[in-house]
Structure 1
Amino acid sequence: MCYTRKACHKNNFELDYNLSFHVSVSLLPPAHLRFDSVDYKTTAVWIPPSNSSTLLYNVQWKIYGEPEWLNVDHCQGIEKPKCDLSEETSDVTEWYYARVQATTPAAKSPWVTSRRFSPRWDSEISPPLLRLNTTMKGIVARVKPPRAQVRKQHRDLFYKIYLIRENGEEEEFEMNCCFHKLCIKDVKRKARYCFQAQTILPLQARSSARSEVKCITVR
């Protein structure tokens, strides 16, 4: 009987060990890793795996063609499923990869790798912000310039300003990036005028979406 019990204990130990080992290697990796980039402010984002109660994440990056993955120092052992990579991807002429790994004190998931990312071509450009006011001479539309990084990379950029009249007619104006003010003199009192703005990158044949409609009534 003693021999049987020992054998039984041994088998139970092997079963527990195998179960423990199986759990430790079955940590699911994060899903849908991608770059989220607007005006060259770039973040790697991902969806936590289903067994994500107490997970931490490690993030690495590399330039396309380079063999070595580099740690993102501020994204080692982080809790949130995102990592700011603006500094790492600041050379907009390069192509990049990111990868992320989920960890617990007992296990690490496989790495999951992003698709290749180009800041120059994949970073969205935001529309300019508009501020409207009326003067004795008409309507003044002021444009807030884009982030310095956008201006640095696209010195040729300009704006399109869309004037939408009450009857639905639309008039289009072009404004150089260096000028931040457009004056509309041909206006009628008590009439309502609406505006939208758009950033244009001519050398890349790209443009932002239009900004939200902003309206003003001439007093």
Structure 2
Amino acid sequence: MMPKHCFLGFLISFVLTGVAGTQSTHESLKPQRVQFQSRNFHNILQWQPGRALTGNSSVYFVQYKIYGQRQWKNKEDCWGTQELFCDLTSETSDIQEPYYGRVRAASAGSYSEWSMTPRFTPWWETKIDPPVMNITQVNGSLLVILHAPNLPYRYQKEKNVSIEDYYELLYRVFIINNSLEKEQKVYEGAHRVVEIEALTPHSSYCVVAEIYLPMLDRRSQRSEERCVEIP
């Protein structure tokens, strides 16, 4: 017969082992690297599966809130999703408000703890696409017409609302003389129509542009090169 003190020690050990096992399971299910990815105010919450999760055996639950609010709100379209992302563009459309998102996982009847993003403010953190660029030849010069990226449809109370409605933008235009393999910045400013003159006849040039945000000291990636032959 087991002595009382031995039985009590066994019982305590059993309970603590069970609790530790449950905590370990919850922790291993917890989504990893939960963060917002934002481009042109299209705000996507993304995450990676917990250490114990493989395949499509798990589902995820997403909530969001504005900084300072106590109550979290469920994102119905991502409540029980098997995806590793959730579009929260509509829920984060006040671009100067700071937001949080959080995700929990469920698998085989077990639920993880919530995993929360860092604070996210769209106006500060969204990445801007390069300008769309059209080029026309006019009497040996190049006429470059630039367009800022449009916002997601749900932002647009009117048609063709663009990034220009939310930021002071500067356009930078560069020209590359393919014969000399030399790049030169030919324009920086707010105008969207730029004329490039004094080009060498019978030469090949490429033009590329980017957007610069002075308030944030940030620039977009460069547009694709557009190349032309000067007759």
Shorter-chain TM-score: what band? 0.7 to 0.9
Deviations 1:16-64 (A, max 9, x none): xx98xx5797141111011100111110111122423311111001111
Correspondence for 2:218 among 206, 210, 213:
206
Q: 1:1-219, aligned counterparts within 5 Å?
A: 26-27=25-26, 28-50=29-51, 51-53=53-55, 54-104=57-107, 106-147=109-150, 148-154=161-167, 156-166=168-178, 167=180, 168-176=182-190, 179-219=191-231
SS at match of 1:101: strand
The code of the aligned residue for 2:45 comes to: A
Deviation at 1:79, TM superposition (A): 1.2
The answer to whether the 8 Å contact 2:32/2:115 transfers is yes
Do the aligned residues in 2 keep the contact of 1:24 with 1:107 (CA within 8 Å)? no
- Ranges in structure 1 where 5+ consecutive residues have no aligned partner: 1-14
Which consecutive unaligned segments of at least 5 residues does structure 2 have? 1-13, 151-160
Rounded Cα–Cα distance in structure 2 between residues aligned with 1:24 and 1:107: 11
Q: Structure 1: how far apart are the matches of 2:119 and 2:23?
A: 30
Alpha-carbon offset, residue 69 of structure 1: 0.9
Aligned residue pairs: how many?
Answer: 199
Q: Distance in 2 between matches of 1:214 and 1:149?
A: 23
TM-score, structure 1 as length reference: 0.80
Q: Write out the 4+ residue segments of structure 1 that deviate beyond 6 Å after TM superposition.
A: none
Deviates more, 1:195-204 or 1:36-45: 195-204
RMSD: 2.5
Q: Output the TM-score relative to the length of structure 2.
A: 0.76
- 2: CA distance, partners of 1:149 / 1:180: 13
Q: Which amino acid aligns with 2:176?
A: I
Paired residues of 2:171 and 2:192 also in contact (CA < 8 A) = no
